[in-house]
Structure 1
Amino acid sequence: MSTISASPQLVGEQISLAEQAYRDIRDRLIMLDIRPGEPINDGQLALELGVGRTPVREALKRLEIDHLVVSYPRRGTFATIVDITELADVSELRRSLEPLAAYKAALGASDAERETLGALARDIERLGDRHVDKRGLMSYDLDVHRSIYRAAGNPHLEDTLIRLDNLATRIWCLVLDKVPSVAGHIDEHVALLDAIVARDADKAKAMALEHIVSFEQTIRAVL
């Protein structure tokens, strides 16, 4: 089971059982804990998550919109296949929207959000002092992106980018064992986060674009 953290939450934020189920199942699908093409048993998931079937079913409906699960009449619900050919389409959108989110976060993040982003940067700098496996590094990748999206202050942009990042991360996880240096990819976040904290919007925008281009090149190199 993955130890990935949930989406960044504000202190004291209250979420419904359906929302928690959605986030938990979503991250299992993203990290391929639920394998592509695998049938999804809503009853078993409900037991594992400690909720009823209704929140799980509500979550699965949302995950179908996210293209992470697919339902067939009389057959059931399945994790979608990871389609490598989607990389170009996903990257095309991320090259436009990720820099926008970084730019907006640099200009508009609250003091509390800047503190969170700065702490995350310092934590990433210390990764070399302890053993973190590739899956653990992917958790940092998701945390960084989701934190920046939230700090951008536009819920529609945040929602769109989370969905795109989820699809990109599934592709990343599919080839994770072939990638020579995941740590190097994660280290790229430090300068990006520091630029946002320093309110250097132009630098943050440029570094976000560089990061997305680097990600796509890394994936293509191992395919």
Structure 2
Amino acid sequence: MVQSLTDKPKPQRSAVVPPKAASSPPKAANGLAVASASTLTDRAYREIEEAIVTLRLKPGDILSEQMLAAATGIGRTPIREALQRLAIEGLVTILPRKGILVSEINPRSQLLVFEVRRELERMLCRNGADRATKEQRAQALQIAKSIERAAQQNDDMAFMRLDRELNQLILDVGHNEYATRALKLTQGLSRRFWYQHYRVAADLPLCARLHAAQSRAIGEGNSKGAAEATDKLMDYMESFARATVTV
């Protein structure tokens, strides 16, 4: 039996926050709900990306479209499109006629990722604090509270999902499609790197406070504070990455 990618990793953890619900699918003329290709591709992308980031699909694993389709219950075309997105983001390598290789994790390469991420994320957070809508500000404030609660409960899966939600919010509020394209290439790699090493080298409560400060500054419309919070977060993440080289 193929294990679902949405199964909780073992050991199981309590209070796991479920992925954000997708919007209702369109309905056909007969009133029956139908899933669009883009909706299925997005769902496949979210499930496979989370499985890679949380190491249920490990670096060096060889995957196949057939295996992933069976694990997710999604057809091979949306799976293929999701894998193409993940390949662009560096989480997998597509090997023609061989399969899909989950990429390895390299701490030294991650330091280069943070160099790029710092500049882009600071700009998007600073601009986003000014440009966010009322609804986005409310979302940012809620994310900040939820991240702190996840850390208090030592719930790493909830933290990871909230971090992903914050990553997406930063892309949305920044309103710069070019910076968004570049920053998106770093986000999954960063989350996976953190998840692999945090039990040994990270401080979850501190990491949560830094993320919450960034999200809260966006929610409060504090552009200077958002930029400063981003720099503090990147300082911590770079220090964390350097520590893993010697762990």
Following TM superposition, by how much is the alpha carbon of 1:24 offset from its aligned partner in structure 2, in angstroms? Answer: 1.8
User: 2:146 touches 2:162 (CA, 8 Å); kept in 1?
Assistant: no
What residue is the counterpart of 2:217 in the other structure?
195
TM-score with structure 1 length normalisation? 0.87
Q: Distance in 2 between matches of 1:167 and 1:205?
A: 22
> Secondary structure at 1:115's aligned position in 2?
helix
Determine whether 1:178 maps to 2:200: yes
Report whether the alignment pairs 1:37 with 2:60: yes
The aligned runs of 1:119-198 (5 Å cut-off) are 119-127=142-150, 131-198=153-220
Does residue 89 of structure 2 align to residue 66 of structure 1? Answer: yes
Distance in 1 separating the partners of 2:151 and 2:64: 39
- Which of 116, 123, 129 aligns to 1:100? It is 123
- 1:17-58 Cα distance to aligned partner (Å, 9 max, x none): 123212221222122221001011211211222211111112
- 1:47 is matched with 70
TM-score, length-normalised on structure 2?
Answer: 0.79
Greater shift, 31-40 or 46-55, is seen at 46-55
- Cα deviation, 1:110-145, whole Å, max 9, x if unaligned, reads 00000111111222343465x333333222222222
* Counterpart secondary structure, 1:70: strand
Corresponding residue to 2:234 among 212, 219, 222: 212
Partner of 1:56, secondary structure, is helix
Specify the SS of the correspondent of 2:60: coil
Instruction: Give CA deviations for 1:158-212 in whole Å, capped at 9, x if unaligned.
Output: 3322220111122212212212421210111222222212211111111111111
1:156 maps to amino acid: Y
Q: Show structure 2 runs of 5+ residues with no match.
A: 1-6, 9-15, 26-35
Q: Residue 25 and residue 18 in structure 1: after superposition, are their counterparts in 2 closer, same or farther (change >3 A)?
A: same
Amino acid at match of 1:79: V
Residue 13 of structure 2 is matched in structure 1 by none
Q: Which position in structure 2 is the counterpart of 1:113? A: 136
Distance 1:48 1:113 in 2: 33
Task: Point out where structure 1 has 5 or more consecutive residues left out of the alignment.
Answer: none
Pair member with larger Rg? 2
Out of 100, 112, 135, the residue aligned to residue 89 of structure 1 is: 112
Q: Distance in 1 between matches of 2:184 and 2:18?
A: 14
Structure 2: distance between partners of 1:161 and 1:4 = 25
Aligned pairs, how many?
221
